[in-house]
A and B are shown apart, each in its own frame.
Chain A
Amino acid sequence: MRDPYSVLGVSQNASDEEIKKAYRELARKYHPDNYQNNPLADLAEEKMKEINEAYEAITKQRSGGSYQSSTGYSGGQGSYSSASRNPTYARVRSMINAGDLGTAERLLNEVPQRDGEWYFLSGSIAYSRGWLDEATQNYARAVQMDPGNMEYRQAYAMMQQRAGGYRPYGYTNTMDSMDCCTTLLCLNCLCGGGRC
């Protein structure tokens, strides 16, 4: 296992507070919410596990071994948990989770009836591909056909309200909170209007 301090990017003699801060920043970065339905979700989960272990190891070490693991974000993957009644849909879901989008799409196209779940899964395949516009349209269709389903509504809401995802420390809010003058100033800078 790698040195837990280097995993968190802190020095050996960092204070408890610094370690906690570093841990929180990393946990925010690799949080499963940022990788929902993302083909790289497994990598994020690995990272999350690594920093959880490192944080736990350091805390344990510092408390003289009496530490009880209580913190730590669980790496609950953003994959589909709810089981489908339709066996084909269940297979499509496991195909999407496994990253086999081609097979998932083929299976889905063989389904004769297009209900809410069909559009939802179709949207999920599109999303995993990066086809965000088609994903939004399909999710919207799913919600329209089955307005009571929380899973579809959540997926659709995720496309509508852009939370902005993770931004590294120092890049947070920089652009969103700017008034139009500052924006213009910045745009000028983009190209190096000012003197170096």
Chain B
Amino acid sequence: MFGYVRPVRPELKCRDFDLYRATYCGLCRCLRHRYGPIAPMLLNFDFTFLALLLWPAEPSFTPCSGRCHANPLIHKPMCPNSPALELAADESIILAWWKLRDTVGDEGVWKGLPARMLSTVLRPSYRKAARLRPEFDRTVRICLGELNRLEREKCASIDRTADTFARILQAAAPEEGTLGRVLSQMLYHLGRWIYLLDARDDLQEDIQRGRYNPLILRYGSQGGGQEFENTLSHSLELVGAAFQLGEFGCRAALLENIIYLGLPLVQRAVFDGSWIQIKKQKIWSNRE
């Protein structure tokens, strides 16, 4: 979706790298099995992170082998199927669908055409996912509706607009027990961070096209600077503080890498403009 949530590879231990890739490939397989050959297109790092978070803590991990979707001739280590992968897969379909509908609504007849076509293709998948996760579907619909309203009203509060997206992400984890509380906090603050970082990333384009962007209204066309960076880093700190209170077993080290190294680096890259090149690259490709 955005791809902001990713690990820093050189700082990963080999086993954590394997675990990350196995989860990514596992999510891809899960999307394909549940939603057919188009669905793996929606695969992304953010939902891989979600799958890692949702996975019940276990002391160690053994991958199984599966056929790669991109190249069916090779086998890759993959996570075994699990409720965490299924939940992440269903939710990525639901969110992608609503985002597409949003784009269709925002753009004109011609510009919205690709999104319209894609959403037509995804429609059966969405219906299935929405049937399986009615609560999440409802939350996404309500929150994106609220966001649209705030955009029309030209809301100048960055917290209020970010809140709508943060609540979507918060709803991605079941809110049960201690771990549920921890995940709910983590995902809320992460959602705020993702929304605001995306707004920062779109700032120049939005200014040129005269589109709504909460940062312009809050900070002017310079888009914040240090004060804004502070508030983003503070959100990340709260993600970390919540994370420390949960049990994540063998996935803790990988999650730590993402939270304490990956997210701050991505933030820095968005601020200094190098993100444009970085976001296109894959984490594991051997080629530049």
A binds B: yes
Give 14 A-B contacts (CB < 8 Å), ordered by A residue.
A30-B245, A35-B241, A40-B185, A44-B245, A130-B163, A133-B231, A134-B157, A136-B231, A168-B256, A171-B261, A183-B268, A187-B269, A190-B269, A192-B284
A2 lies within 8 A of chain B by Cβ: no
Residues from chain B with Cβ under 8 Å of A136 in the complex: 231
A167 to B, closest residue via Cβ: B260
User: B235-288: which have CB < 8 Å to A?
Assistant: 235, 237-238, 240-242, 244-245, 256, 260-262, 264-266, 268-269, 274, 278-286, 288
Residues from chain A with Cβ under 8 Å of B269 in the complex: 187, 190
B185 to A, closest residue via Cβ: A40
A38, B268: Cβ atoms closer than 8 Å: no
**Which among B8, B163, B192, B218 is the interface contact of A186 at CB below 8 angstroms?**
B8
A130, B192: Cβ atoms closer than 8 Å: yes
B219 to A, closest residue via Cβ: A133
Chain B residues at the A interface, C-beta cutoff of 8 Å: 6, 8-11, 157-160, 163, 166, 178, 181-182, 185, 188-189, 192, 218, 230-231, 233-235, 237-238, 240-242, 244-245, 256, 260-262, 264-266, 268-269, 274, 278-286, 288
A192, B283: Cβ atoms closer than 8 Å: yes
Residues from chain B with Cβ under 8 Å of A76 in the complex: none
Decide if the interface of chain B is mainly helix, strand, loop or mixed.
Answer: helix
A192, B238: Cβ atoms closer than 8 Å: no
B182, A133: Cβ atoms closer than 8 Å: no
**Which among A39, A160, A166 is the interface contact of B244 at CB below 8 angstroms?**
A166
Residues from chain A with Cβ under 8 Å of B230 in the complex: 159-160, 162
